Structure 1
Amino acid sequence: MGLLLGQIALWRTGVAGRSRTVWGGHAAGLAGMALLAVTEVIATTAAEDPHPSERTDLLDILYGGSSLATGLGLVIVGVAVVRAGAWQGVRRWLPLALGVWVFVPMTPAIMAGFLPARLSITGWMLLFAALGWVLMKADRDRV
């Protein structure tokens, strides 16, 4: 849920602009992250299920769909942030990096096995932590 709040905070900054394309990117990213949160709750009920099974197949679909929607939304928003130029330096590229990360390296790493998947997800979480820091700093600078 914290990642969802981070995306809402990114939306509220307006650094990507307010076009329909940007709105669609935010909506896709938020919907993907909300579905990912629901998927995580469902996954806790399937912890003892064998893999593969009908239940774990459903989880695979939900994880894949939610991750791809989040990644696509963040790529759209990230491109808009870069183009808008409201943020400078490394933070300008952070939303785009979050979206691209889903497709390279995270998706291939998830297919490679447990350890590569966990390492790539950890990298994604660190990028989200950096976004949170940037958003908190930006909010503090406005006050």
Structure 2
Amino acid sequence: MMRRSPVLITGLVLGIALGLLDLAGLAGLFVEPAPPPALVIVSALLGVVTLVAVPAAWRGGRRAAAVVTGARIASALLAVPAFFAPEAPGWAKTAAAAAIAVTVVAVALIWAGSRRRVGAGVTTRTASLLCVAGAILGIAGGLAMIVVAPEVGQDRFSYPFDTPMHVITQLVFAVNHVLLLVAVLAVGRAAIGPSRAGRAGVLLAAAGMIGLTLCELGAMALAGAQVDDSRVDLLNLGYGVSSLAIGAGLVLAGIPVIRSGRWRGWARYTVLACGLALFAVVLPAISGPMVAGRLALIAWMVLWAAMGVALARDPGAARPAVTPAAAMGR
């Protein structure tokens, strides 16, 4: 049994909403163009599974929480084909992207809330491995955008990829951001010390990373849009605000990391370096040619990998580092 927390409750409430939406999707059988009936029926069954499992998860059942999480992930995967169906209307693709985004948030909250017990959580060493893995994903995605021959014109938002490859790439970047988010929270637990500004920086960077994840998922729905589309402008605004939050948060967190003296040598400067590099290198570069922007992001990912190594060198690398309470500095 696990203790019910506000984090878990929020995740389960989102799960309920998603389950109800799955059931409401049955109405799609009576519209034109109709989605594949099998897809609609399976989604509805997953909605039923979610709603049946939520009460037990609400009472603290770990297995029930796992069932809710599994059902939501499966339902989100069923939404992916909408991005590849040329006959799917724009609103359907937007709804699919929104459902996937909410699912990511719900699953993360349920997972975090279900681990709120003494001794539970992601250790600093595990967070370091996830950070390095996320950095490698980011480097691979950036290299792919440079070396792959363009499949569409530069007037397409998805350039250089066509719709299927664009969707896959955005999913990779979304996973990259989630893994780096774990690292940000681990820094807050392991190396900030009592600094309030540092804790505020961790929360700001975490919020920016969540916003960036949602932007990547939202970009999936705009695979066929032109670069001058007003929706693309709005999405770019989201990217910009999220990036500024990450940079400012890492700078705020990086200064107390240096002052605390917990990390030694080059490791103590990695958090601050990630924040400063965003402003000095990444943001200027992405406003220029696509290749320059990708190279800057790859260099930024190398700094994130260095932060992952720094986390692994932390003296308390084997202790729990990422829990909701730890992220708040309590």
TM more than 0.5: yes
Question: What is the Cα deviation at residue 131 of structure 1?
Answer: 1.2
Find the counterpart in structure 2 of residue 40 from structure 1.
216
Find the counterpart in structure 2 of residue 61 from structure 1.
237
Counterpart contact for 2:201–2:253, Cα < 8 Å: yes
1:93-132 equivalent positions in 2, closer than 5 A: 93-132=269-308
Correspondent of 1:134 among 307, 310, 314: 310
Higher RCO (CA-CA < 8 Å; seq separation 6+): 1
> Are positions 1:22 and 2:198 aligned together?
yes
Name the larger-Rg structure. 2
Correspondent of 1:5 among 182, 199, 204: 182
TM-score (normalizing by structure 2): 0.41
Question: What is the Cα deviation at residue 142 of structure 1?
Answer: 5.3
CA distance in 1, matches of 2:200, 2:179: 21
Question: What is the Cα deviation at residue 137 of structure 1?
Answer: 3.5
Find the counterpart in structure 2 of residue 70 from structure 1.
246
Unpaired segments of 5 or more residues in structure 1?
A: none
Unpaired segments of 5 or more residues in structure 2?
A: 1-177, 320-330
The more displaced of 58-67 and 77-86 is 77-86
CA distance in 1, matches of 2:185, 2:230: 33
Question: What is the Cα deviation at residue 8 of structure 1?
Answer: 1.1
Which has the larger helix fraction?
1
CA distance in 2, matches of 1:81, 1:115: 33
CA distance in 2, matches of 1:127, 1:70: 14
